[in-house]
Amino acid sequence: MMRIVVHNTGVTVETAVVPTAVGAEVLVETLVVGVCGSDIHAAAGQHPFLQPPCLPRHEVVGIVRELGSDADGVLVGDRVTVEPTLPCGVCKMCVTDRSNLCESMRFFGCGYEQGVMADFFTSRPVASMSYPKG
């Protein structure tokens, strides 16, 4: 597959291996992406905690192509977007249903090993990420 990589010297299109959906993840084929304001700051070297090289990012609509062995809540063929926050699931805030305040929060496409400006990416689905077909 192809993916976009932001370097200090500019943006390149590079080849990469299609990721594998593991556990609760699903494999998504990218349909359309948007450019987040934070992507522009990162490419300009002006983002406070996202420095090139990086894999942009999280504004996306795609189609679920494969389900991990424990995936739940979406089906192959569903149109989806992503919940870009990646709470740890084990800290005090996460286990008390306040994962938006996770003490170890990560963000998709921000220091994370994947971004959505690629032919495919994997993500853990959430119920609110599925949109009606048609």
Binding site for Zn ion (CB under 5 A): 36, 87-88, 91, 94, 102
* Beta pairing partners, 120: 29
* Amino acid in the structure at residue 44: A
The nearest distance, CB 21 to Zn ion, in angstroms, is 22
CB of 17 to Zn ion, least distance (A): 26
Judged by beta carbon, residue 75 or residue 106, the one nearer Zn ion is 106
Q: Is the dihedral of CA 117, 119, 123, 129 positive or negative?
A: positive
Provide the minimum distance between the beta carbon of 80 and Zn ion in the complex, in angstroms, as a whole number.
16
What is the secondary structure of 4-69 as a DSSP string? EEEETTEEEEEE-PPP---TT-EEEEEEEE---HHHHHHHTT--SS--SSB-----EEEEEEEE-T
Q: Tell me the C-alpha distance between 14 and 41, whole Å.
A: 21
**Which lies closer to Zn ion via its Cβ, residue 15 or residue 96?**
96
Q: How far is the CB of 101 from Zn ion (least distance, A)?
A: 8
Comparison of 47 and 65: residue with beta carbon closer to Zn ion: 47
Q: Which CB sits closer to Zn ion, 66 or 99?
A: 99
